[in-house]
Structure 1
């Protein structure tokens, strides 16, 4: 297999030195004056980042946080979220970044399951945060962003704990949706995010003069690892936006001087669907990482915007398994890229490898220590289940070609992916079944006009009741994150089941796709569900 091109030499670090503290201290000493982050009209240099995260470590220590403690962070795209993540890392504590849309039972579950002792939350989230905290006795206190910001004024010496932190120590718990069960907390060592950042900098050809723009949520691995850590390793800078807006997107790109951005889920299609403009090439962007990728988008972005499209295959549990780099052959457009520092086996349902070119489950194992999760927090059985036969089983299906490029096919698991969010069908169903008019529910993915999935739910009414679909949606809006709320609803007298009483989801998914035009559609009914 031919070696991948390396565009710029990077300042490398031995695997054992890949901790937040070690790398930030080195960057501050070598390139301290270089801009690392811009956000909200403010600028932070590499030296500033090291100092402010030291101060945040001191602030968390004064708040009673010690090595090994877990701290939940319910914060939007603000620099304080990154300072908190890295300040906790310097203490040897574990950051638990939460989806800012979490509410109700899901928020209680995340706080409780993560064993968090402290929560930092946005002020406008307190209405849903306070009842959740009351149900989780382990949470000692809640801090707002103002209290967090005040940490920056504290002493900024290197915390003594920083020297004791190992690359293999837990740094983050990042929640990914369950398939047939609750969301799982992925325990990520310090080294995992750095493995991603290194791969992206090397194989995507990022340079010190690049500006990596992100409007994706920093509580997700894509923005945190594939943009922020990638910039850290390229010794480039990050332009942080509060969130994605199709109307503001190109305006922010131009104002920030961005040269790289990532588009996850439907975002690339939404950008592409904007009206053509004489200003389509009025920008500095040279690379856009698009996931999922397609030949149409890669060719279209090149012709219309003059941008080279790259891509990856990755999960929160692992690293950049493949990277489609800017110099890879045009005929590989649409693939997830070439294998990078990871062994991949495509296996059948019994775990045996299939021939090159055939579709099967994507199984992997890294070639370097520290590039994958340590396991699922307090879920030993789930950890063992995905790591059988010395391979990590992704639950995704694809094929490898003779040149070592991976082509994604579909999902073997039941997760629904909507607008870049992985949605647990189990969690959607759990909320629906709490509605007094619903006896049983089954959530399945259906195609979205923006790419990826929309959520559809089949409902079995409770005896003697009638289901009011609009009222069900109102119930969902109150009890689940906005992106989980079903778009389509349908009624059945009973769910199809196997002799062992397992719901035959594949039958329901097929029926939903075939009947999509006839199902009740909340958007057609004029019911819009957005961020709280």
Structure 2
């Protein structure tokens, strides 16, 4: 396994089972042979265009076959793919691309056109997935190729496979006290966690995993690699839909599905149907399942839920298993990692007490290599030879871990980490805002909703609805505050910083504006 790469695995499977389905997307099956040939053509095409090993290539597209082929092709060429959240907007999107500084952009025309005016310096080249016949997104001075042309350029090219210790991917994760950080992941990363996942699921050859999660997250990527390793296929949904979820599971004949806690809440809140349990799925795997509905969800839909915990920096840190699980727990540490709960001095805490979860790998390729262009952040995370997750947990006598909350200033909304710092930065750009604080408040769907408390400048009036519209230009949809409350002042520390602990303790009042019609503000924890 140590010498195996994703590329060599794809090549081996294409030779042994060329006609076997690897990926189902948009109602079409794509064989292992077609996937490998396309990945090889992408890789060779990028090299023919003059890109080198280690170069960064940004990818912004929806869930589709081309997205998977481009990601895998970039990695096969020994380059670093940078998946960009398709909901990124404005200043946040601009920061991501400028920080990554890719030599080449690959994307759908609507996203490339949104990005083009934000960049003072255009990329060297652009590859357009499914061109719409309009003007080139970056104008005539930048070379544009279609996805089909890229494949043709690399059709007869040669690919030198990457090494397992080379960088494969850079995924941006939410910042806490600063901007988002690019997490550098090695080639071995996907294989390590894919193997762990399929062993936990006990996936068999010929079976299907369904996920509606986006390919710009590491979860969906690991499910694809895992399905291939197991001799099965991945059914890739376009996006999560309450009304369409179970129909897509049935259409794919999927034995397994991935979930985020919010998805389960929404599915459970839907009106009950006689055929709720009439689906081929036997197991759902994911994180943040609300303990209050866990067992009732299993009974209603006739499935088993397997709760785990991970992050971009280390995808599978703890997990329940089919033989050893506990509702409300994120499970026990996986064998690939050494895990502890520690206090503020990095000393282990007694069983039952709350501590920060820290970890270190037992084998190479299991966690991130570091943060791109942020050596200080990398060193800060790796204190005393342990990687600090920033998550607080407690352990019981049997070794099961229970998630308590974040140490850092981060908000968890519908499977996305929202940086309070980035929300506050966006609010500060509004001419009427003097200062602002973003916090998470409990959501009826599980996890949190984003709330903002804002102080107007002297003589100015802040209209929450207008501020909400203003923020949508610079923030991803999931990061735009649902609640906005205008206040006279915010509590401060002795050094005149906003005291976020006191802001959270204050929470929201009935004066808070709610972006959802008919909604009511909820008090924070």
Residues of 1 paired with 2:292 and 2:283: CA distance? 16
Mark the runs of 5 or more structure 2 residues left unpaired by the alignment.
131-145, 521-525
Q: Does 1:403 align with 2:398?
A: yes
Per the alignment, residue 442 of structure 1 pairs with 437
1:444·1:457 contact (CA, 8 Å) conserved in 2? yes
TM-score normalised by length of structure 2: 0.92
Residues of 1 paired with 2:229 and 2:288: CA distance? 24
Per the alignment, residue 523 of structure 1 pairs with 516
Residues of 2 paired with 1:157 and 1:32: CA distance? 19
Residues of 2 paired with 1:181 and 1:328: CA distance? 39
Aligned mate of 2:479, from 481, 484, 489: 484
Per the alignment, residue 143 of structure 2 pairs with none
Q: Report the aligned-residue RMSD.
A: 1.8
Q: Does 1:468 align with 2:463?
A: yes
Q: Deviations over 1:351-373 (max 9, x none)?
A: 11001222110111121111010
Q: CA deviation at 1:59?
A: 2.3
1:435·1:472 contact (CA, 8 Å) conserved in 2? yes
Aligned mate of 2:345, from 323, 342, 350: 350
Per the alignment, residue 200 of structure 1 pairs with 197
Q: CA deviation at 1:61?
A: 2.4
2:262·2:289 contact (CA, 8 Å) conserved in 1? no
Q: Does 1:232 align with 2:228?
A: yes
Residues of 2 paired with 1:153 and 1:141: CA distance? 16
Q: Deviations over 1:126-159 (max 9, x none)?
A: 44211123x245x223221031244344555673
TM-score normalised by length of structure 1: 0.91
CA 1:142/1:158 → structure 2, altered by over 3 Å: closer, same or farther? Answer: closer
Per the alignment, residue 330 of structure 2 pairs with 336
1:446·1:454 contact (CA, 8 Å) conserved in 2? yes
Q: Does 1:281 align with 2:277?
A: yes
Per the alignment, residue 83 of structure 1 pairs with 69
1:444·1:456 contact (CA, 8 Å) conserved in 2? yes
Q: Deviations over 1:249-280 (max 9, x none)?
A: 11111111111111114111101111111111
Q: Deviations over 1:143-195 (max 9, x none)?
A: 21031244344555673321xx2111110000000011100000000111111
Aligned mate of 2:5, from 8, 13, 19: 19
SS state at 1:494 partner: coil
Residues of 2 paired with 1:298 and 1:210: CA distance? 25
Q: Deviations over 1:396-448 (max 9, x none)?
A: 01122233222111111111111111111111111111101101111110111
Per the alignment, residue 170 of structure 1 pairs with 167
1:51·1:157 contact (CA, 8 Å) conserved in 2? no
Per the alignment, residue 159 of structure 2 pairs with 160
Mark the runs of 5 or more structure 1 residues left unpaired by the alignment.
1-12, 528-532
SS state at 1:321 partner: strand
Residues of 2 paired with 1:136 and 1:415: CA distance? 31
- Structure ranking higher in helix proportion: 1
* Equivalent residues, number: 504
Aligned mate of 2:293, from 286, 294, 297: 297
Per the alignment, residue 143 of structure 1 pairs with 127
1:18·1:190 contact (CA, 8 Å) conserved in 2? no
2:485·2:511 contact (CA, 8 Å) conserved in 1? no
SS state at 1:458 partner: strand
Per the alignment, residue 57 of structure 2 pairs with 71
Residues of 1 paired with 2:180 and 2:302: CA distance? 40
Per the alignment, residue 365 of structure 1 pairs with 360
2:219·2:315 contact (CA, 8 Å) conserved in 1? no
Per the alignment, residue 530 of structure 1 pairs with none
CA 1:399/1:149 → structure 2, altered by over 3 Å: closer, same or farther? Answer: farther
